[in-house]
Amino acid sequence: MNVIELSPPYLIFLGDVTDTTYAKTGAGLAQWRPELCLGQLSLIDTGVDLGLPAMTVAEAAAAGARSLVIGTASVGGGVPEAWLPTLLEAVSVGMEVVAGVHATLASHPALSAAASAAGVRLVDVRVPPVGIPVASGRKRRGMRLLTVGTDCAVGKKYTALAIDKAMREVGLQSQFRASGQTGIMIAGEGMPIDAVVADFVSGAAELLSPANEPAHWDVIEGQGCLTHPGYAAVSMGLLLGSQPDAFVVCHEAGRTHISGWEDFPLASVDQVIARTVAAGAITNPAIRCVGVSVNTSNLASAEVAGYLSRLEENLGLPCFDPLRQVPSSLLQTLQAMTPAASGLSSEEQENSL
Amino acid sequence: MNVIELSPPYLIFLGDVTDTTYAKTGAGLAQWRPELCLGQLSLIDTGVDLGLPAMTVAEAAAAGARSLVIGTASVGGGVPEAWLPTLLEAVSVGMEVVAGVHATLASHPALSAAASAAGVRLVDVRVPPVGIPVASGRKRRGMRLLTVGTDCAVGKKYTALAIDKAMREVGLQSQFRASGQTGIMIAGEGMPIDAVVADFVSGAAELLSPANEPAHWDVIEGQGCLTHPGYAAVSMGLLLGSQPDAFVVCHEAGRTHISGWEDFPLASVDQVIARTVAAGAITNPAIRCVGVSVNTSNLASAEVAGYLSRLEENLGLPCFDPLRQVPSSLLQTLQAMTPAASGLSSEEQENSL
């Protein structure tokens, strides 16, 4: 499969960060893929603690770590000098080094030379693989759910991860598919969809969720939103290439305008549903909205239940905060949509949950 | 302005092509920008004749040509050996060499070295400029018309060129803005929008039609279509960044399915209008369809008038074949939309045409 692929298990590198806010990638990995995280390495005694065993590079290598994953963003953008001895040590013992946002590894001469000499990869998850084709539009076997949004940064990745986990817990076959940098770190593979040349965005989305068993679900991390003045092209391309059977709209309660584009009012959830159905039907006429995921962190605790039940009443769809629970009604819908193991579709399974 | 810019006037290079079908770029330049084409150079006696004076490189240079434009596609893709002496001669006399589809200049070692030694540019119009920002979505001064389509290759470039020409002929301020390779050759500048990374497509479209005088029109060449399973992301990004006040839908009479994607039926013209208005309104709520351009080459000559008048009756919009004439009703609409020189908008001008 022509996507980025990482080599687990990992040593999570935390630099000299003291606040988890700046170690989101590391924290995401520790939360969602703890079984792949052998340990953490901070350069300072007061560094962020993800709850993983503290390890040196040598200890991690001895324990079997195959990659050092940079779990934090550097402020300036490049690779800080203070990080270099650790990264070079990792390379020297044969570990791959993986970077997400704000750190370009291959352009660092010393690191690049060391990696080349040691024969190990430097993996920049922002760089798409080569050879991505134009989308064919052809329907692929298997089921797909895409998270879409009313804006950027409303919980599309988190929602996809939470739904994927909940689906597996009730016995559905599900796989999280990552379309962004942190998601790719967590999934161990994926496609940095916003970095793909426009002609090939939908083709990249097709590669990201290839044909699979009829009852298998890909739960695909969405990007941007269809009404975004800057990023709608990304959202459009990802939607058409994903060919989702189901989608979940992600929204932040209380947000009224596109974040960073304050002249642009947010579309309502039902407007986003209508636009997503209209566009998504081009490659999958059966597309339907199955729920709404709400980041309720701006609401007082006492307001949350009322907000969600009002929204649920208005839309006639399960509405939930993914930090709390993925509702069984959503899982029942997805189970009902899942073809039976025989390969036949079966609404009949609905009551088996 | 951060777009590709060429250096006219041109010597049009035609290789060993004997059929105008394979010299579309050269033919387009000779048709739309004859004043910039000093001459043509064919490698064979029986080559394509664009009606320009035959010139050697030395003659063209003496006449003031600043660029040799490769006006034909090579079959294989690279730079054919037979072309090389001519291209090297052009470089040696200080002419820039410009290539569109299927010829990568900078990757040819001998040509690249010669250009570097001579201090001249090799311009590949498929390669976007660096430093394209994310779109701001902010409204820019000036008026804009975008050609959109029911499919690829339905006449969006030709229609934009024809409307631009007709607008200037009736005294409107208009400029053709090119978003594709051949269009960039003709315009002498532009943005290869489909080669831009997805995050920056709308930003590239904003660069392509920068702020201008209130009464000035940019007539922007569209790409792809919003219902295309492969290219909708490009169309979406171009639409939102262009912020068109007006758009013209381009269609080929008789086409029923997306060309090359035969499982996908073409959307109807009115569906394309509705989708374009819905998406375009995100960055320009005043967007409206002002006409439909039809490639009628599949119709018998006697059928054309009836086809266009039926379409016109159904849609209530000027419908025309741009090979024949841009109708005065369309030009009147555009004039009525144009703010008066005072800076005030004026429906009052409508009858002045």
pLDDT in tens, A135-169: 999 999 999 999 999 999 999 999 999 999 999 99
Confidence band (pLDDT; 50, 70, 90) for A79? confident
Question: How near does any CA of chain B get to the CA of A94, in Å?
Answer: 33
- Each residue's pLDDT tens digit, A273-297: 999 999 999 999 999 999 999 999 9
Q: What are the beta bridge partners of residue B41?
A: B13
All domains of chain A, ordered by start, with CATH?
4-124 (3.40.50.720), 143-352 (3.40.50.300)
- What is the ipTM metric for this complex? 0.91
- Each residue's pLDDT tens digit, B62-117: 999 999 999 987 666 678 889 999 999 999 999 999 997 555 788 889 999 999 99
Question: How near does any CA of chain A get to the CA of B130, in Å?
Answer: 13
* pLDDT score of B308 more than 50: yes
Sorted by sequence, the CB contacts under 8 Å of residue A349 that are 6+ apart come out as A335, A336, A338, A340
Query: With an 8 Å Cβ cutoff, is A150 touching chain B?
Result: no
Instruction: For residues A170-191, give the mean pLDDT.
Output: 95
SS3 A306: helix
Tokens linked to A328: 């069984």
The whole-number pLDDT of residue A348 equals 43
Are A198 and B193 an interchain contact pair (Cβ–Cβ within 8 Å)? yes
Within 13 Å, how many C-alpha atoms sit on residue B74's CB side? Answer: 17
Instruction: For residues A106-127, give the mean pLDDT.
Output: 92
Residue A73 and residue A22 in contact, taking contact as beta carbons nearer than 8 Å: yes
- Each residue's pLDDT tens digit, A232-263: 999 999 999 999 999 999 999 999 999 999 99
Are B198 and A233 an interchain contact pair (Cβ–Cβ within 8 Å)? yes
* pLDDT score of B245 more than 90: yes
Confidence band (pLDDT; 50, 70, 90) for B341? low
CA B101 to chain CA centroid, nearest Å: 14
For Cα atoms A203, A207, A208, give the angle at the middle one, nearest 5 degrees: 115
Are B233 and A231 an interchain contact pair (Cβ–Cβ within 8 Å)? no
Q: Is A320 exposed, middle or buried (0-12, 13-18, 19+ CB in 10 A)?
A: buried
Closest CB to B233 among A195, A202, A278: A202
Q: What are the beta bridge partners of residue A96?
A: A67
Closest CB to B229 among A135, A194, A195: A135
Tokens linked to B114: 């010669």
Which residues in A lie closer than 8 A to residue B197 (C-beta atoms)? 194-198
B285 vs A349, which has greater pLDDT? B285
* CA distances from residue A250 to A113, A332, B68 in whole angstroms, order as listed: 43, 19, 53
* pLDDT score of A350 more than 80: no
Query: With an 8 Å Cβ cutoff, is A197 touching chain B?
Result: yes
Return the C-alpha torsion angle A301, A33, A3, A241, nearest 10: -30
Confidence band (pLDDT; 50, 70, 90) for B352? very low
Query: With an 8 Å Cβ cutoff, is A227 touching chain B?
Result: yes
Distance (Å, whole) CA B95 – CA B48 = 22
The whole-number pLDDT of residue A158 equals 96
Residue A135 and residue A196 in contact, taking contact as beta carbons nearer than 8 Å: no
User: Which of A191, A197, A266, A275 to probe by mutation at the B interface, max B CB count within 10 Å?
Assistant: A197
The whole-number pLDDT of residue A75 equals 62
Sorted by sequence, the CB contacts under 8 Å of residue A236 that are 6+ apart come out as A201, A226, A279, B232, B233, B236, B237
Query: With an 8 Å Cβ cutoff, is A222 touching chain B?
Result: no
Sorted by sequence, the CB contacts under 8 Å of residue A262 that are 6+ apart come out as none
Q: What average pLDDT does the structure give for chain B?
A: 93
The whole-number pLDDT of residue B74 equals 67
Q: DSSP secondary-structure letter at A342?
A: T
* pLDDT score of B257 more than 70: yes
Query: With an 8 Å Cβ cutoff, is B347 touching chain A?
Result: no
